[in-house]
Amino acid sequence: MKPMTKAQTVAYMDFQMKYAGASERVFDNDVKEMIHEYLFHFKPLMEKLPLITGNDLINEFGLAPSPLFKTILNRVEQAMLAEKIKNRPEALKFVEDLLEIKNLYTE
């Protein structure tokens, strides 16, 4: 099933609120559009499996487990949510670039 458009989401929310008995507008259109973005953009991205894990940092980059793992994995997740990376190879390249920039890459 194809996701609703922003306009469809706004109309659906208006219908549901009226059906529930609301006599006034509960949310303005900007809030309804934010709800649409969350439901049809952000939430599906958050539900995806991680592109990489700590095991990848160990196996691909030779890193030893450390608090740095959380920082790297959080940055990968942020880049995924911002749609800067979309798959595992892009995530590995992102980490490689990150480690080179920070001079953390160990060979």
Query: Is residue 101 very low, low, confident or very high in pLDDT (cuts 50, 70, 90)?
Result: confident
Q: Following CA atoms 77, 79, 85, 87 in sequence, which dihedral angle do they give, to the nearest 10 degrees?
A: 0
- The predicted structure's pLDDT at residue 60: 94
pLDDT at 103: 62
pLDDT > 80? residue 45:
no
Residue 28 pLDDT exceeds 80: yes
pLDDT band at 44 (very low <50, low <70, confident <90, very high): confident
- Using an 8 Å Cβ cutoff, are 81 and 42 in contact? yes
